[in-house]
Amino acid sequence: MSESNISYRAMMMRRIRSSMEQVYAITMFGLRFFRYVLVPPYEWGQVRKHLDDLGAKSIPLLTIVGLIMGLILALQTRPTLDRFGAGGFLPAMLALTIVRELGPVITALIVAGRVSSGIGAEVGSMKVTEQIDALEVSGVDPFNYLVVTRVVACSLILPLLTAYVDFLGIFGGYLAEWISYDSSMQLYFTEVLQSLEFNDIIPGVGKTIAFGYIIGIIGAYQGFNTTRGTEGVGRAATTAVVLASLNIIFLDMIIIQLTLLLLGSGS
Amino acid sequence: MNQPQDNVLIDVIDVWKSFDDLHVLTGVSMQVHKGSSDVILGRSGIGKSVLLKSIVGLLVPERGSIEVMGKQVMGMKPGELNDLRKHIGYVFQYAALYDSLSVRENLEFPLRKHTDADDEEIGERVMEQLRLVGLEEVVDRMPAQLSGGMKKRIGLARAIITRPDLVLYDEPTAGLDPITAREISELILNLEEQFGITSITVTHDLECARVIANRIYILETGAFQVQGTFEELKRASDPTTKAFFQVMA
Ligand SMILES: Nc1ncnc2c1ncn2[C@@H]1O[C@H](COP(=O)(O)OP(=O)(O)O)[C@@H](O)[C@H]1O
Ligand SMILES: [Mg+2]
């Protein structure tokens, strides 16, 4: 019995050690980005290409999800609000929920699913087919050319995509109100705008820059460290989605605590 | 110093490289002279690619010395390594064409990064290079639209478009039918004569070795056990070499 305990403990220790090493490696990989992004050469052509690609990949899905998110949220909360005689607060409540929390997180998770895996697979297949080695012997730093450009593109585009989803969500809420109560668009949007403050919008959209960074870095890390041929490429893609999604949620939790601390609990 | 060094382009001395518990290279040494075309034979997974990658600094061995054109590669700074690589072409095992770029863009890539040629000159060089490998018509195709043999040719064209002094070929004929393989071997020979290229070719294709090799090394369990010309090795009596040459006959 004690023997199996020892081997079990040894196995756990090995597991823990290898996870720690993994965390360390990803952290160093992530920090390397900041060393690169501050100094030329910049591959703007590549960044633009990735921006186009990211937008085209994500926008269809985000459009549907954004609209439906607002619609469902309005349909679900309206009866509860009515019960307290607070139905008139719906536009304000919806706008705050979406802009502060749901918009950024849902956008980030969807883009993570679409893009982190894509980056993992793209970079991973370049790794296993020696294209990354080929870049290096051609005098191109693969980290700068493949990783920095993708991370920059993700960080630039995520705030824009979030703003788009926020708008669609709020509009979806209006659609629900219009279907059920034939309410006026002007009134709805006036209330939305009145309820939103600078302090809601900036942290909400701002944190998506960090989410974009996570999506890019984790996808690229998995791709860069792909081994064992095509099978490894598939693994890189799935691991990237899981890790990116987890990290987004953790980071969001931390940011919420920080904003509450710094800006107060708001209205 | 002790030898006529200026004639030696690559000097590999007692190189050791392992991955975790796997000892791949255990004391490899070789000297490649200017203008020579040397071939490394060996079974798959024996460490041929690892050796080639160590020579261009893509992998860093833990022991030994690798001098290329009189400069120590191991421990070289990135900037210096870059300068050295301008003189080296590398043909990867599966061509390693950039699959998001067209054939034209693939060929332009090393020119844009390693030379300061202008657009017009680059355009001409690309077409000239494609003529050399007989594939002008595929200039606007994507790599996914090429056959295996075409990919190898384009990979070859990309490796020598900067007119390097030294070219490293990793299994240039692997996975090709015998006729195409023969054509590639002869293409390599022609290009080397035409441009005075020094080369190391890694292969397990004996026919390719026969066509292009001035000198052959046989890599076995971490080091070179045998070396000599094709004719010498063909008559050799040690079991490894015999095994190799019997498979061919
Ligand atoms: N980057 C790497 N990490 C771990 N093991 C490697 C790496 N590169 C090669 N190896 C291992 O080293 C051995 C020799 O590989 P390689 O040089 O590619 O063989 P080949 O002679 O067929 O070219 C193989 O067992 C391979 O799995
Ligand atoms: Mg190999």
The predicted model gives A147-176 an average pLDDT of 95
> Which range has the worst mean pLDDT, A73-87, A193-207, B125-139, B222-236?
B222-236
Å between B83 CA and nearest CA of chain A: 8
Chain B residue with the nearest C-alpha to that of A131: B96
How close is the Cα of A227 to the center of ligand 1, in Å? 11
- Name every protein residue with a CB atom under 6 angstroms from any ligand 1 atom: B 19, 22, 24, 42, 44-50
- Residue A10: pLDDT over 90: no
Q: Which residue type sits at A124?
A: G
Across chain A, mean pLDDT equals: 90
Nearest to A139 among B85, B94, B96 (CB): B85
B104-125: average pLDDT: 89
Q: What percent of chain B has pLDDT over 70?
A: 96
Ordered DSSP codes for A188-249: HHHHHHHH--HHHHHHHHHHHHHHHHHHHHHHHHHHHT--SHHHHHHHHHHHHHHHHHHHHH
Residues in B closer than 8 angstroms to A230, CB to CB, are none
**How many angstroms separate the alpha carbon of residue B131 from the centre of ligand 2?**
28
Candidate from B56, B82, B96 with C-beta closest to A130: B96
Q: Mean pLDDT lowest for which of A110-114, B39-43, B64-68, B220-224?
A: B220-224
B53 touches chain A (CB under 8 A): yes
Helix (H) or strand (E) holding B89: strand B88-91
Please provide the distance, in angstroms rounded to a whole number, between the alpha carbons at the two ends of chain A: 60
The amino acid sitting at B72 is: Q
CA–centroid distance, B50 to ligand 1, in Å, is 6
Size of interface A-B (CB pairs under 8 A): 44
Q: Would you call B60 an interface residue with chain A, using a CB distance cutoff of 8 Å? A: no
On chain B, the residues whose CB falls within 8 A of the CB of A45 are none
- Residue with CA at minimum distance from ligand 1 atom 18: B49
Supply the pTM of this predicted model. Answer: 0.86
Choice among A171-185, B37-51, B158-172, B225-239 with the minimum mean pLDDT? B225-239
Query: Nearest CA of chain A to the CA of B85: how many Å?
Result: 6
More reliable by pLDDT, A267 or B84: B84
Residue corresponding to tokens 């002008």: B136
> Given pLDDT bands bounded at 50, 70 and 90, which one contains residue A2?
low
- Report the mean per-residue pLDDT for chain B: 88
- Residue B14's φ and ψ, nearest 5 degrees, are 45, 60
Q: For residue A68, what are its two tokens? A: 């439906």
Contact A131 B86 (CB under 8 A): no
pLDDT (tens digit, 9 = 90+) per residue, B145-182?
999 889 998 999 999 999 999 999 999 988 888 888 89
Residue B127, H or E segment: helix B119-132
Listing from the earlier edge strand, what are the strands of the sheet with B198-203? B88-91, B166-170, B198-203, B37-41, B215-220, B223-228
Query: What integer pLDDT is reported at residue A184 of this predicted model?
Result: 84
The SS3 assignment for B63 reads strand
Which tokens hold the place of A171? 């509009």
CA-to-CA distance for A226 and B87, rounded, in angstroms?
Answer: 29
Is residue A139 less than 8 Å (CB to CB) from chain B?
Answer: yes
Q: What is the pLDDT of residue B231?
A: 79
Question: In this complex, do B99 and A137 lie within 8 Å of one another by their Cβ atoms?
Answer: no
pLDDT on residue A179 = 87
Q: In the predicted model, what is the mean pLDDT of residues A228-234?
A: 85
Of A94-103, A199-208, B10-19, B49-58, the poorest mean pLDDT is in A199-208
Please confirm whether the linkage preceding A104 is cis (ω < 30° from 0): no
Query: Looking at CA atoms only, how far is residue A2 from chain B in angstroms?
Result: 29
Nearest CB to B110; choose among A125, A133, A138: A138
- Name the residue in chain A with its Cα closest to that of B162: A138
Contact list in A for residue B94 (CB cut-off 8 A) is 129-130
Q: Which atom of ligand 1 is nearest to the CA of B43?
A: 21
What does the block give as tokens for B98?
């950039």
Q: Which residue's alpha carbon is nearest to atom 3 within ligand 1?
A: B19
Alpha-carbon distance B197 to nearest alpha carbon in chain A (angstroms): 17
Could you read off the pLDDT of B218-243 as tens digits, one per residue?
888 878 877 788 877 777 778 777 77
Residue range B194-199: mean pLDDT, rounded: 90
Is residue B109 within 8 A of residue B155, CB to CB? The reply is: no
Q: B204, B171 in Cβ contact below 8 A?
A: yes
Q: Say yes or no to pLDDT of A265 above 70.
A: no
What residues have their beta carbon closer than 5 A to ion ligand 2?
A: B 49
DSSP B146: S
By Cβ distance, the residue of A129, A139, A141 closest to B96 is A129
Region B22-51: what's the mean pLDDT?
Answer: 91
Dihedral, CA atoms, B60, B63, B65, B71, nearest 10 degrees? 40
- Residue A74 reports pLDDT greater than 50: yes
Confidence band (pLDDT; 50, 70, 90) for A3? low
Q: What does the pLDDT read at residue A113?
A: 93
Q: CA B203, B204, B209, B214: dihedral to nearest 10 degrees?
A: 60
> Can you tell me the mean pLDDT for A251-263?
87
- The answer to whether B17 contacts chain A (CB < 8 Å) is no
Q: Determine contact: B93 vs chain A, CB below 8 A.
A: yes
Choose the closest CB to B93 out of A130, A139, A141.
A130
Ligand 1 binding pocket mutation candidate from B50, B168, B219 (most atoms within 8 A of CB): B50
